[in-house]
Amino acid sequence: MTQSIFLVAFLAALTGTVLHAQDATGDWQGTLKTSGVEIRIVVHISKNAAGNLKATFDSPDQGATGIKVGPIDLRGTTLSFAVLSLDGSYEGTLNDAGTAINGTWSQHLDFPLNFQRVTTALKTEHKPAAPSDIDGAWFGTLDLGAKKLHLVFHVVNTEDGLMATMDSPDQGAKGIPVTAVTRDAASLKLEMKQLGGGFDGQISADASTIEGRWAQLGGSLSLTLTRSEPLR
């Protein structure tokens, strides 16, 4: 028996990993991809006073932060958690270095979802800067034939560059984040990976309209955006 105890201690000293539990606490970021749609996911894992894991769940591209995660459990290298409010769950394997989790998100269907440990979580707040010439609300209407869909883009300049959100009043949706805003002179591109689409247009010389097209999942429609108020 004594010899066995010394053998275990000797192996632990050699490997430096035996008898050490994995640590999943920290910030984890991944991207859920399906059918041309990309949604970034951020999970913040910590421990409560009793030493048990707890977590919150952010979906920055959908404007959702601080969603409660529970239950959450780490058994060996297997991390599992549920997001009851979304009727979803996750199970993945933590690598030996503790830097990545590879697994599956289940929400009616199963989707691959891999997380990377990040030291700085995805930034969701941006300090305002001097307004650009296209700051403000821009209104447009998509003609779907049988019905029309009204859209409103809110563009604002920040210290990190141009940012935007989109409202779809007819669908009761408000403040959907635009994942990337790219401007090159009069060209403006509003990318929305969480919808598998976006807008690409040309800003008029007086910055009163932006004419272009809305593209989504392989299809596209003409879309002209008009500023709600003249630039002051």
What is the DSSP track for 170-208? GGTEEEEEPSEEEEETTEEEEEEGGGTEEEEEEE-TTSS
Predicted local confidence at residue 3, as pLDDT: 44
Going by C-alpha positions, the residue among 142, 143, 137, 134 that lies closest to residue 198 is 142
Name the residue with higher pLDDT: 66 or 6: 66
The pairs formed by 43-48 with CB atoms below 8 angstroms and a separation of 24 or more are 43/69, 43/81, 43/115, 44/121, 45/72
Going by C-alpha positions, the residue among 137, 129, 184, 136 that lies closest to residue 161 is 129
Q: At which residue do the structure tokens 């440990």 appear? A: 117
Beta bridge pairs of residue 28: 43, 117
User: pLDDT tens-digit profile of 69-84?
Assistant: 989 999 999 999 999 9
User: pLDDT tens-digit profile of 45-100?
Assistant: 999 999 999 999 999 888 888 999 989 999 999 999 999 999 999 999 999 999 99
pTM attached to this predicted model: 0.71
Predicted local confidence at residue 165, as pLDDT: 95
Predicted local confidence at residue 81, as pLDDT: 97
